[in-house]
Chain A
Amino acid sequence: GDSVTQMEGPVTLSEEAFLTINCTYTATGYPSLFWYVQYPGEGLQLLLKATKADDKGSNKGFEATYRKETTSFHLEKGSVQVSDSAVYFCALKDVRGSTLGRLYFGRGTQLTVWP
């Protein structure tokens, strides 16, 4: 079945460091891929998404490229800020069969950025 595996945290970085959070997926169809972010005390909000192979999603300096050959969707940012401290979730959605458009989430990666 469909599933998402993302790197375990926590990840601790200094401000302006480069960030990579790895995400790989297993899917039977042609899924769309998402990164959601959860700031402390809040619900999840969409960070970026990609709907087909080789698409690049980007937002707020974050990027992720949909790589079908490696079944990956790694999140990157060139220079993190303290305000990026949050939990990041990778997710996929595949509407084939009876999934009815549900999301499959990874376990989340806690990022802490120090000044």
Chain B
Amino acid sequence: DVKVTQSSRYLVKRTGEKVFLECVQDMDHENMFWYRQDPGLGLRLIYFSYDVKMKEKGDIPEGYSVSREKKERFSLILESASTNQTSMYLCASSLYQTSTDTQYFGPGTRLTVL
């Protein structure tokens, strides 16, 4: 089975802190994604990556950056956390970019910024 793991289930940070969210997949997938999930808004794509060191902006990249130094690991970075970044963050991966390919999700990190 595909396994996508995220470094923390719950995280509490202070405004202005630099925050790192880590995601690791164990199935040699090409593509990795970061979403945030907010009530009533569904999932919104922050960034995605289709190869090592490659990244593409999603719908809401402002205030975030990403890093993919190794194929299995995709990090989301909040350069200076703000209260409006309090949210559930979900990482996902998929093998290819074909239309039939399935995305597999991690359990999520619930981030609270005080």
A interface secondary structure, majority: loop
Q: How far is the CA of A75 from the CA of B7 in the complex (A)?
A: 33
CB < 8 Å neighbour of B33 from A36, A46, A94, A102:
A102
Are B99 and A43 interface neighbours, CB within 8 A?
A: no
The size bracket of the interface on B is 20 to 34
Are B107 and A43 interface neighbours, CB within 8 A?
A: yes
Interchain residue pairs with CB less than 8 A apart (21)? A30-B99, A31-B99, A43-B4, A44-B43, A44-B92, A44-B105, A45-B105, A46-B103, A49-B100, A51-B100, A93-B101, A94-B99, A95-B98, A101-B31, A101-B97, A102-B48, A103-B45, A103-B103, A105-B42, A107-B42, A108-B43
Q: Which 4 pairs of residues, A with B, have the shortest CB-CB distance? A: A101-B97, A43-B105, A107-B42, A32-B99
Contacts from A to B (Cβ < 8 Å): 30-32, 34, 36, 41-46, 49, 51, 89, 93-95, 100-103, 105-108
